Amino acid sequence: MRAIFGLIYVAFIITATITHIWTVIIAFSESGIFAGILTFLFPFLSEIYWVIKMFGENDLYAYTALVHLILAIPISALRN
């Protein structure tokens, strides 16, 4: 069971990193270099902001990032 959770955790980390890179690209393209740097430095807060901002505009991104934000709670709780 521990090995399965370890694989799920690694998959989550990889997909969350890809989603964060996607968020930084959106920030750069929508709001410029300053927003991109802030987004890179503050992942959790910036992903919440961009999920809200992108609903209706880029739904694939918004739902993907929302799922990662929701799954981060139980995964981080179970990891410790």
* Segment 11-21 mean pLDDT: 94
| Predicted TM-score of the model (pTM) | 0.86
pLDDT for the residue 1: 75
Model confidence over 33-80: pLDDT tens digits? 999 999 999 999 999 999 999 999 999 999 999 999 999 888 888 776
pLDDT for the residue 14: 94
35, 28 Cβ separation under 8 angstroms? yes
Q: Where do the structural domains in the chain lie, given as residue ranges?
A: 2-79
From residue 7, alpha-carbon distances to 4, 24, 37, 51, 55 in Å are 5, 26, 31, 27, 30
pLDDT for the residue 29: 96
For residue 58, the surrounding DSSP H or E stretch is: none
